[in-house]
Structure 1
């Protein structure tokens, strides 16, 4: 009975934040099964402008029917819907990302054959490949491939029209967020690729969605509202793709009711946000669902923007990204990226982790302290562990999570940050913030963290107010560091010979084994410094010698 009550409480604190369209839309989506429209495809629109090469990804097609997705190799021996594969792997199989990956021109024959095989093996409306999200990405990838100078076979052109019609009747209003944006983007691509009354209706429907979603999803500081660095990079790719498309089809631009202006105005803020949330090594920090290898690397997105003739953005600037709730601190060779944000939109926290007040640290070009990353989406203990507070550089109280993450993409009660302050006198930056995520516990407390960054060190102070449950601050080292502790003192030595030392002025220290997940399907051993709070307080001072900001070496 107690378990049932607990599950009911979790469910209530999850669904009470949802929008009515998500609840009603879910029922409609499950019950409404439109019949695929197999009418002949509309005529193709004449391209009147240039198309530049989009952002590339690592190749994923290894042979005519062999692939590597999420660092797992497989083939089509079990078909397009092989139940032995995780759903995310099967989704990737239907995306056709390799059509526009690096050196795609070397695999054109494979691509042509695979497109024909997909059309033959996937009857309209049946199977994973016809779910709205993979349909959306596939529509875009097929069209981008043709704009690069390749020719879709006639049966694929017909299938593309059928897919667009199907998608227009299966929009993911029940999910909203990046899924609905991807749906609308695909309709813009299809409506631009074809011409006539029907494609004009696709463009009109997409414009209605984007007119509402762009101002909501792209915050004033440029961040994507789901607050994942990885999904922000994907959203930036979407914006650049749309700008590229409208230059190739300027007449379709006129049919989108000014949406092109909304997109264009947000590209520069989105690029600045991304540079601010990257480490000196040029790659994204790991907050919420984030990993390398899903979105194009920031450098590839920057090069894409350059090919479109957009102005350079420059390096990330220190300061507070107030609307999204992240901060970038800099001092000498060191960079701290700190999470003082909510877990995400109240009605859409599916990609959230319980990582409130976590941070990541780089010294020079080397990452030192890192959140653990993301390697799985499938529901289960490992997914819960990676989303949990203990997998991040923050404080755990009584072994609980600061936000009640559950299932694969659910969050019940959430931590709310408050009382944020940031001061910078030119040599020292002090960031302080509190959150209330643990006040739901019987003896829970408010957690307040203070970060003090100077050129040669970082001080981290954690204080609990109002509770007495046991608590620990966790500091996950990047796998490239060997870590040792001797009482209140410790040191870590990187594979480049760099040394970071620390002294614990309040709290008790131990080293625990951990794991790091820089990509889906990858788990690397790492070390975690665990500092037990004493009388509700811990204070750790990390120090390092001066390093070259360009090489990370002493």
Structure 2
């Protein structure tokens, strides 16, 4: 499947090269260029002053890659990994320069934009990719007052000529083969171009109609996004808020479909937040900046408490006392919307107050290659691994191959206690087993119990297999084997203690890594419960209880 995707991608790129990569096409993008914006939309999103200061010093930390140039120089616009190029050409790092403030940051932003104009005036498959172009258009327009308002007439003329050309190209290639987050980002660029550049409102209206058709497909009834990634949930909601802000600034009607999507997505975003304000680590997601999440929720201006259950997106949230557990209890996204998807079916995360206890390993910003293979694998998640095999086939360049075709889930609540029972068949075809996970959280939040069962598929007589149940711990948690190796004592940064017991397998502490934030992996520990299936499968029971002081 990976090879087929690669061939299709190369074919499309070849066709695009013929259509767009010749001098004649560049001439077709010409036309009258605007001299000013008709409206300047608000841009409320915070930048990072530390990263902005690094940019002033010539250090570009983008897409999981760091490139250093002379403080007055510019990076190569064509060299770097895919994540680096997407981030560099999307220009969202200009918010970091804005966070620094002052003339030096403004001049640096202008110099980098000018360099881009000098080197990227014509089509290129990477730098003119529709989703990258959509991000660049909306950023250039949204940050206009920061880098462009005080510029000379020649610079402004070049900016507006380039914006007009990019918008013309984008109208020709969207939607094309785009889907999911990439399509929303590209459409956002068309909305910005259509409503903020003079005499292009038809482009904006066409983009709005496309967005209205797309939102009911991408935003599920429970408000979750179809890609099932908390970071994508944050990004899409932010993009929709921006689109609404453009329409309000232009005094245009906000479609009900757009407003309803924002209203539904907001509680779903709250659903994925841990007590520290960051997001859960599922399907390529990262913690994200808590201040940014706060800003997105505030700008959404939508009421609604966090959901208890997101059955359409396929996640469960157990909360009692100060304890919260999030569990992936859904089928992986379909092919084409699974670029960031992980093989983490039935994985869980747990936090107590503002501290994370059990986590998944996270994801690297490069998103492809060896990091993708390692972090998207089932072993990088707090769930069961059978026969050292992923529950979904992880493709190194993104997406999934073989995957569970069925994930069942039932939820019960009684007097504040919560029980979730979920089953997936990701191991049935190759090994003849189903994985069933029961998770119970007591009403006081201080007693979490689970059962992981590997049971033969009806009618099958599978071969015995080794398995491992993994609980990855946050780097701030200290773990030690006690009671002759029969239990694990966990000590959180606050000093709170938890004790894990298990039956049906052998407890061990092993090394792990954590990439929930930042570009460098942090060393941490995982609890591994090793076992072996018998003729009737096997069940491991485990319990995690809070330690009482003085006990």
TM-score over 0.5 for the pair: yes
User: Alpha-carbon deviations, 1:174-224, whole Å to 9, x = none?
Assistant: 23111111111100100011122xx23422431342122111111111111
Equivalent in 314, 327, 345 of residue 316 of structure 2: 327
Partner Cα distance (2:227, 2:92) in 1: 23
Change (3 A) 1:510 1:147: same
In the TM superposition, what is the alpha-carbon distance from 1:380 to its structure 2 partner? 2.5
In the TM superposition, what is the alpha-carbon distance from 1:29 to its structure 2 partner? 4.2
Asked if 1:231 is matched to 2:232, the reply is yes
Change (3 A) 1:459 1:416: farther
What secondary structure sits across from 1:175 in the alignment? coil
Give yes or no for contact 1:333–1:546 (8 Å, CA) kept in 2. no
In the TM superposition, what is the alpha-carbon distance from 1:103 to its structure 2 partner? 1.9
> Which residue of the partner structure matches residue 414 of structure 2?
425
Equivalent in 28, 32, 36 of residue 40 of structure 1: 32
User: Alpha-carbon deviations, 1:325-362, whole Å to 9, x = none?
Assistant: 11111111100001001111344211100000001001
Equivalent in 276, 282, 290 of residue 287 of structure 1: 282
What secondary structure sits across from 1:385 in the alignment? helix
Partner Cα distance (1:453, 1:301) in 2: 30
Partner Cα distance (1:287, 1:361) in 2: 13
Give yes or no for contact 1:22–1:175 (8 Å, CA) kept in 2. no
> Which residue of the partner structure matches residue 465 of structure 1?
455
What secondary structure sits across from 1:130 in the alignment? coil
What secondary structure sits across from 1:373 in the alignment? coil
CA RMSD in angstroms, aligned pairs only: 2.8
> Which residue of the partner structure matches residue 77 of structure 2?
81
Q: Runs of at least 4 residues of structure 1 off by over 6 A? A: 21-27
In the TM superposition, what is the alpha-carbon distance from 1:449 to its structure 2 partner? 0.3
Give yes or no for contact 2:107–2:147 (8 Å, CA) kept in 1. no
Task: Give the structure-1-normalised TM-score.
Answer: 0.86
Asked if 1:125 is matched to 2:117, the reply is no
Partner Cα distance (2:515, 2:399) in 1: 21
Asked if 1:395 is matched to 2:372, the reply is no
Equivalent in 83, 99, 103 of residue 103 of structure 1: 99
Change (3 A) 1:352 1:378: closer
Gaps of 5+ in 2: 457-461
Change (3 A) 1:23 1:94: closer
What secondary structure sits across from 1:97 in the alignment? coil
Partner Cα distance (2:100, 2:238) in 1: 18
Partner Cα distance (1:261, 1:104) in 2: 38
In the TM superposition, what is the alpha-carbon distance from 1:57 to its structure 2 partner? 3.4
Partner Cα distance (1:376, 1:93) in 2: 13
Partner Cα distance (1:482, 1:270) in 2: 36
Asked if 1:543 is matched to 2:549, the reply is no
Task: Give the structure-2-normalised TM-score.
Answer: 0.87
Matches within 5 A, 1:10-159: 28-29=15-16, 31-33=18-20, 35-36=25-26, 37-42=29-34, 44=36, 46-47=38-39, 51-59=41-49, 60-61=51-52, 62-63=55-56, 65-70=58-63, 72-76=65-69, 79-83=75-79, 85-101=80-96, 103=99, 105-106=101-102, 107-126=105-124, 128-146=126-144, 150-151=148-149, 153-159=156-162
Give yes or no for contact 2:447–2:546 (8 Å, CA) kept in 1. yes
Change (3 A) 1:247 1:204: closer
Partner Cα distance (2:548, 2:322) in 1: 7
Partner Cα distance (2:181, 2:296) in 1: 18
Change (3 A) 1:483 1:412: same
Partner Cα distance (1:112, 1:295) in 2: 29
Asked if 1:374 is matched to 2:376, the reply is no
> Which residue of the partner structure matches residue 459 of structure 2?
none
In the TM superposition, what is the alpha-carbon distance from 1:419 to its structure 2 partner? 3.2
Alignment length (residue pairs)? 517
In the TM superposition, what is the alpha-carbon distance from 1:32 to its structure 2 partner? 3.1
Partner Cα distance (1:175, 1:401) in 2: 28
User: Alpha-carbon deviations, 1:453-512, whole Å to 9, x = none?
Assistant: 112121121001114321111110001111112422111112221211111122111111
What secondary structure sits across from 2:20 in the alignment? coil
- Relative contact order, higher structure (CA 8 A, sep 6+): 1
Partner Cα distance (2:93, 2:473) in 1: 34
Matches within 5 A, 1:431-442: 431-441=420-430
> Which residue of the partner structure matches residue 183 of structure 1?
186
Give yes or no for contact 2:439–2:449 (8 Å, CA) kept in 1. yes
* Greater Cα offset, 515-524 or 155-164: 515-524
Equivalent in 482, 485, 505 of residue 478 of structure 2: 482
Change (3 A) 1:145 1:104: farther
Give yes or no for contact 2:81–2:366 (8 Å, CA) kept in 1. no
In the TM superposition, what is the alpha-carbon distance from 1:391 to its structure 2 partner? 0.2
User: Alpha-carbon deviations, 1:393-421, whole Å to 9, x = none?
Assistant: 11101010001111221311111343311
User: Alpha-carbon deviations, 1:304-331, whole Å to 9, x = none?
Assistant: 33xxxx25545x34x2111101111111
In the TM superposition, what is the alpha-carbon distance from 1:431 to its structure 2 partner? 0.2
What secondary structure sits across from 1:191 in the alignment? helix
* Greater Cα offset, 509-518 or 201-210: 201-210
Gaps of 5+ in 1: 1-7, 548-553
